[in-house]
Amino acid sequence: MKTQVAIIGAGPSGLLLGHLLRAAGIDVVIIERVSADYVLGRIRAGVLERTTVELVERLGLDWRLKSEGLEHGGFNLADGERLIRIDLQDLVGTTVTVYGQTELTRDLMEAAPERGLEIIYEASDVAIHDHNSDTPSVTFSTGDGTEQKIEAEIVCGCDGFHGPSRRSISAGAGKTYERVYPFGWLGILSDVPPCHEELIYANHENGFALASMRSETRSRYYIQVPVDEDINDWSDDRFWDELALRLGPGPAETLVRGPSIEKSIAPLRSFVFEPMREGRLLLVGDSAHIVPPTGAKGLNLAASDVHYASAALVAYFNKGDNDAIAGYSAKALARVWKAERFSWSLTKLMHRFPDDSPFEREMQRAELDYIANSRAAQMSIAENYIGLPV
């Protein structure tokens, strides 16, 4: 098989990029390791920045996002005594949209056939070859064990943190930056109405908590737990009791409990790999960077990488601009690092770190009190939360 762009991975990065390239008349094939159902089974964050929404609008695939997405004009920080509302609409004149990543992925997957976007699912042993030559290729085996090879002009690694693309960068050509946090998030999904009309990020003596949602009838909640926590130690009742305590008296009163339909613990890390391109291989999304979910940046960073990668590839294929691809890594990383900083900063502010002394705890309380009383501080948080300009 031959194509212009071979994309590895059918998560949000691969699907958004594939659709944008197809819309520009560029031939694309996506090679995905698991089934479509498996991809859709992943429960992920769902706060979309304006930039992300605009990509979906540009594709004309935003009809469900517009009808089912929840537009939020603000969010809240809780310090155990009060809610500190960050009024996005007033501070930075825009909103964010709450819409599950699973739903966005479903919209993009379902539109693929009609848009001529070929996705090969359940491909195994995916490997990238000769990405530093003019004739890169991707090999893999299909479900029946048949060996396949796709020759492409460009390969895009949208294969997430555990995929083969980052590992294909020449030894010594890349640099890794990482911080692994000493805690994880225990998340629960339940078909109960949210306890508050906007998100609440809580800093409590016992640890962090987050009240989020998927719709007006489905809630998503998280509490910080030790990184080696055994999920079997957490009954639904124990989770609800701890969540109510950490969110504080107001939200606890409106908290509706119900059976968990999903419960899992996710580790937190900050991670960046540089560069995001080598030869004809571009890294996009989680294959190049990971953020702690505190700032809701994971999906949105993938979208900004896609914004830069699609612009570079359209210029390369449709305008003969051979230099366009060369600028991709630096452009994408400039925004990645600022989102990494915001996610790290909000994680430091809102979580209990095991090694923190009473002094660090007082620093957190002082910073929250400063934010509560400073429009400038709130504006800084707001402009980062809605996403810095691409």
CB-CB contact of 201 with 208 (8 Å): yes
**Which span (60-68, 175-183, 293-301, 319-327) binds ligand PHB, by CB under 6 A?**
293-301
Choice from 39, 55, 56, 368 touching ligand APR (CB under 6 A): 39
Contact 99, 69 (CB under 8 A): yes
Q: Which of 5, 210, 302, 312 binds ligand APR (CB under 6 A)?
A: 302
Among 298, 309, 316, 378, binds ligand APR (CB under 6 A): 298
297 is catalytic: yes
Query: Mind giving me the DSSP string for 258-277?
Result: --EEEEEEEEEEEEEEE-SE
Alpha-carbon distance 285 to 307, whole Å?
11
Burial 59-97 (b: 16+ CB within 10 A, else e): bebbeebeebbbebbbbbbbbbeebbbbebeebbeebbb
Interacting partner of 8 out of ligand APR, ligand PHB, none (Cβ under 5 to 8 A depending on kind) = ligand APR
Residues between 180 and 199 that touch ligand APR (CB under 6 A): none
CA 384 to chain centroid, in Å, comes to 15
Query: Which member of 9, 46, 160, 279 binds ligand PHB (CB under 6 A)?
Result: 46
What is the H or E stretch that residue 226 is in?
strand 219-226
Least distance in angstroms from the C-beta of 162 to ligand APR: 6
- Taking the CB of residue 374, how many other CB atoms lie within 10 A of it? 11
Q: Print the binding letters for residues 66-105 with ligand APR: x by CB under 6 A, - otherwise.
A: -----------------------------------x----
Strand partners, 146: none
The amino acid sitting at 272 is V
Task: Name which of ligand APR, ligand PHB, none residue 212 binds, using a CB cut-off of 5 to 8 Å depending on partner kind.
Answer: ligand PHB
Structure tokens at 90: 């007033």
385 an active-site residue? yes
Compose the 11-30 pattern: x for residues touching ligand APR by CB under 6 A, - for all others.
Answer: xxxx----------------
With a CB cutoff of 8 Å and minimum separation 6, the contacts of 82 are 248, 372
Least CB distance to ligand PHB at residue 142 (A): 34
Of the ranges 50-58, 74-82, 161-169, 241-249, which one interacts with ligand APR (CB under 6 A)? 161-169
Q: Please give the residue whose beta carbon sits closest to ligand PHB in the complex.
A: 212
Q: Is 184 in the site for ligand PHB (CB under 6 A)?
A: no
Q: Are the beta carbons of 312 and 17 closer than 8 angstroms?
A: no
By CB under 6 A, residue 220 contacts ligand PHB: yes
Query: In the annotation, is 293 catalytic?
Result: yes
The site partner of 12 among ligand APR, ligand PHB, none (C-beta below 5 to 8 Å per kind) is ligand APR
Residue 330: name the closest of 282, 385, 384 by CA: 282
Helix, strand, coil percentages (3-state) for the chain, rounded to 5, are 40, 30, 30
Q: Which stretch binds ligand APR (CB under 6 A): 252-260, 266-274, 296-304, 338-346?
A: 296-304
Given the residues 121, 201, 222, 328, the one annotated as active site = 201
Class of residue 329 by CB neighbours under 10 A (exposed 0-12, middle 13-18, buried 19+) = buried
Rule CB under 6 A: say whether 281 interacts with ligand APR.
no
| Per-residue binding letters, 249-288, with ligand PHB (x by CB under 6 A) | ----------------------------------------
Helical pair 328-350 and 298-319, crossing angle rounded to 10 deg: 170
Report the candidate in 345, 349, 347, 326 with the shortest Cα–Cα distance to residue 337. Answer: 345
Does 226 qualify as catalytic in the annotation? no
Residues at the site binding ligand PHB, with contacts judged by CB under 6 A: 45-47, 199, 212, 220, 293-294, 296
Instruction: List interacting residues with ligand APR (CB under 6 A).
Output: 8-14, 31-34, 39, 44-45, 101, 123, 126, 158-160, 162-164, 285-286, 298-299, 302
